[in-house]
Amino acid sequence: MFFDVLNSALSSMTNGPRNLVRAISFVAEGDDGESANVSAKSLLEFLHSVGPADETVTILRRRLAHWDNDDAAWTQETQKNTEERRQLIYGKLGLDADWKTFCEARLPFQPLARPTVIAVEHKPWYTDEVRKGRNFYWTRYAEQLVKQGWPDESIINLNDSTNSVVERLADPTSEEAYQSKGLVVGYVQSGKTANFTGVLAKAADAGYRLFIVLGGLLDVLRSQTQRRIDKELIGRELLSREYVNDPDYADFVSHGAKPSELGAFDWSRLTGPEHDYQKLAYGVEALKFERRDPSHPFYHPNNLFAANARIAVVKKNSKVLAKLIADLAALQRQGIGEPLDQIPALIIDDESDQASINVKKPAGPDEEQERTATNKAIVTLLNMLPRAQYIGYTATPFANVFVDPDSEEDIFPKDFLISLPRPVGYMGVSDFYDFDFGQDDVGPNRRDFVRDIVGEDDNPDNLQKALDSFVLTGAIKLWRSRQDAKLKFRHHTMLVHMSQSVAEHKAAAIKVRKLYASAGYDGGKGLDRVEKLFLMDFAPVTLRRTEDLPFPDKFEELQECLGECLEMIGESADAVRIINNEHKDQTPDFDKQPIWKILVGGTKLSRGYTVEGLTVSYYRRRAGSGDTLMQMGRWFGFRRGYGDLVRLYIGTAEKVGNSKKTIDLYEAFGGVCRDEEAFRAQLKRYSSMEEPRITPGQIPPLVPQHMLRPTAPNKMRNAVIEFRNFGGELAESTIAPTDGQCKESNNRALERMLAGKSATLRSFEAETRSGMRRLDALTVPFGTTEVVRFLQEYSWYDPKNRDAKFGNPLALQIEFLKGDAGDHGIRDWVLLGPKISNPRGVHQLAGAAFDVVYRSRREEAGRFNTYNDPVHRAFAEHICAQATLERANDELNSLVNKHRGVMIYYPITEEEKPKNSKSAKPARPPFTVGFTLLFPNNNIQRTLSFSVRRKDQPNEAMIFVDE
């Protein structure tokens, strides 16, 4: 009753919000049933009485969110996605104080995260008029996502981010042919496919007619992508019979009739779910474009919007691409259909940092560039299709697409780089790490979701407990689905990721099967273990984490669901699947049937492949580079309805080869994640620059500033950073030598910086993000001249390190501190030496004993994971007035100065951190000089400026080879 009245009232507001009370009264007066008694007052009372998921509340929330981001004339030039817009909405709705109070409390305005865009200037063409005039496929795609349970804010975000991509492409109806090339950076397992499917829909609506989707290196990835596009975009009316036995066929989008019969256009598919591109497999007509109006070229609106669209979802394989290239060439050679230079085309390259890059050595001045086969095929397609646009999608911001100088200009994202915001409902880095907590603290995310693996798999707290968690969480999912029909869990999976070796996959699978078979889940000790896990782990975490998801009060409530869960998982022989190229028959097809299994694998699980229903991850695999490590983060993703049940079991003392050295994989991931978040933050800062505007061609030289070296040490792109304003920023290069003499030299340089100075012990107190904290620290004052000299003298690399030719990684900071480009505003510095519990020793400096800390290096030589501790950093930011801490004591406030820089100093040992630090021997010098610089804000207006190596080609994203 209340839903029908509100829905009708809101539906009548086709041209924007208008008086809600009158609209409700009008609907009620026209009804002879129960709705006739509904008033604005009784409706408000009802809304107060129901929960946030009630459909009546939902429809009001959805409409407010729509108006928050509308571009129609009623908006009176208010900016969308702003509080000002929301207040205008309330005014037009004529809400009284009670209604407004309800909306502010239950449906408050929430600004949506916008994508970060770094791009060259472009001619606007994808206007509101274009978007609203031709939106057949986008509208149906958005409706399909609603049916799949996507939150309203997620669809609004998707609409916004896909607009940002499509508007950067060339106008498909333009007489001038232009190839736009860009890169879209998402998060691992964050819905990149959903984003580029939205881009496909909007680009097709706008006039693009040939689409080539490079769907990964594996057949399973290509097939997965094909089905997603067929299900959510193409629609049942345009599909052949290959999906009629698909269990989800009823959920495929349906247009009601062929789109061409509804005033739109149809799609012609060149590939299918089981078949990659075959040479003219569907006949020559499949690639033939024809003009309806011979007096105009094909790209003219008279022809373009009447033509069908063609789409090929192909494996990123040079042999497959060669078939497509050959067919396009044959059509052109035989004069069949329209010339290729008249066809607006779009190439979507999923996982574009993999295989697409040319890794061959750059050619000399008079030599033809040699290319890898896949890269050559992509470049050939672009050369054949002058109106083709190229968009690469990746999840790794440090991907080779824009950091590897061996990558030639052909697919370099010269036009735009778009960093997508973190999606709503996504479990990512910030859910598994506690970057605001001290390094000796166990923050809430690690406490709740992460379980350390130490020792062998047969340790009861390792693989066995992970298996117990898998069984228990499956039972809880089933129990939840009985309590709430909206909670449906089709898949339930566990990931075991130990190695890339196929032989080791077999051994791991045998181990898991044996352990699962002997687990005793049907009663006795097995059931006791699961009950203990329920009481000691899952019940407390869920209690802390959520109030919206149901959870059993007692373990006994799960008995029936445990049995059902074990049935769905199956006997031990069938419960475990091996996912690699030697066991293709075991690769689960999540689209065709429910999967409740334990998946053991390596490379195939590392990139692109979506493991649906993933709840428990058992991870022990090392990786040699940061982007590879991030791509293995399969535990990131959407966990709607079971986010509180996710557990990550990860090795924290994994052996490195045959040595005694170990690596903490959790810490290694954390280091890469910090780099990624820092880089995204910098991209956001640079994107706001107007004069001069930063372009994608200027991004590569920024990467070394974020502590990663280019992959080819003797190459640099044309752009060179000339000046960077570090005001209000943190600078930390964790590159440091391993050579003892270099370490000793750095200690002497630090002593010279502090010569004649004395350290003072101080006690600070303040409220940080992790709560009220106390920090005892040694402080030493010094000047800018001294810090510049120290940075110049510091030895960053071992003498024989090939990266030494890159020089000083803090060279830009040195130039900034010299003040030649403007007054940096720093009048003095203070060195901050934190005192810690259980130090590894002491380092005598400036007449005081500084505590030695343990830090580990990454596997790539020369780099530490991090130096600074988040709590120490918070106090340092307060001192230099970057940020303000609440309840700061007088001793801390006495150091605050907006013209003061701070150096946090850590004498570091790499000797393995002992289990019992009280009885351990002190670490031995020489210690690594680890430090972090914090710069106060200043009044310099420039953020960043560039010069170029080749003055004759200032705008080219070219390769410059150092002589």
Terminal Cα-to-Cα distance of the chain (whole angstroms): 78
Question: Mean pLDDT lowest for which of 150-164, 837-851, 916-930?
Answer: 916-930
**Whole-prediction pTM value?**
0.81
Mean pLDDT, the chain, whole residue set: 86
Sequence-ordered list of residues with C-beta below 8 angstroms from that of 190, at least 6 positions apart, any chain: 395, 420, 422, 423, 426, 428, 636, 637
Q: Quick one: pLDDT at residue 662?
A: 79
Per-residue confidence (pLDDT) for residue 358, from 0 to 100: 55
The three-class DSSP label of residue 554 is coil
Mean pLDDT, range 213-224, rounded to an integer: 86
Does residue 659 contact residue 443 with C-beta atoms inside 8 Å?
Answer: no
Are 353 and 399 in contact, with CB atoms under 8 Å apart?
Answer: yes
Compute, in degrees rounded to 10, the torsion defined by CA atoms 191, 197, 200, 202. -80
The predicted pLDDT at position 95 comes to 93
The H-or-E segment that residue 183 falls in is strand 181-185
pLDDT, average across residues 132-138:
90
Nearest to 813 by CA among 724, 714, 924: 724
Lowest-pLDDT range, 498-502, 527-531, 882-886?
498-502
Q: What is the pLDDT of residue 483?
A: 93
pLDDT given for residue 716 in this prediction:
40
Q: What is the pLDDT of residue 715?
A: 37
More confident position, 199 or 38: 199
Min mean pLDDT across 374-388, 597-611, 638-652 is at 597-611
Residue ranges with strand state E in 351-486: 388-394, 416-419, 426-427, 450-453
Give the least confident one: 79-93, 134-148, 910-924. Answer: 910-924
- pLDDT tens, residue by residue, 694-744: 777 666 555 544 444 433 333 344 556 778 889 999 999 888 999 999 999
Q: Is residue 406 predicted with pLDDT exceeding 90?
A: no
Asked if the bond preceding 926 is cis, omega within 30° of 0, the reply is: yes
* 927: its two tokens: 């210690």
Q: What does each C-alpha distance from 720 to 703, 730, 950 come to in angstroms?
A: 12, 21, 10
SS3 state of residue 345: strand
- pLDDT band for 260, please (50, 70, 90 cuts): very high
Token readout for 240 is: 């052949």
Pairing of strands 210-214, 309-314: parallel
Q: How confident is the model at residue 55 (pLDDT cuts 50, 70, 90)?
A: confident
DSSP annotation of 603 reads G
C-alpha to C-alpha distance for 152 and 299, rounded to whole angstroms: 35
Distances (CA, A) of 360 to 378, 697, 714: 15, 21, 14
Position 747 pLDDT exceeds 70: yes
C-alpha 304/C-alpha 343 separation (Å) is: 9
Q: Which tens digit of pLDDT belongs to each residue from 539-597?
A: 999 999 876 789 999 999 999 999 999 999 999 999 999 988 787 788 888 888 899 99
- The reported pLDDT for the residue numbered 820 is 84
Q: What is the CA radius of gyration of the chain?
A: 30
List the single range of 294-298, 449-453, 598-602 with lowest mean pLDDT: 598-602
pLDDT surpasses 80 at 791: yes
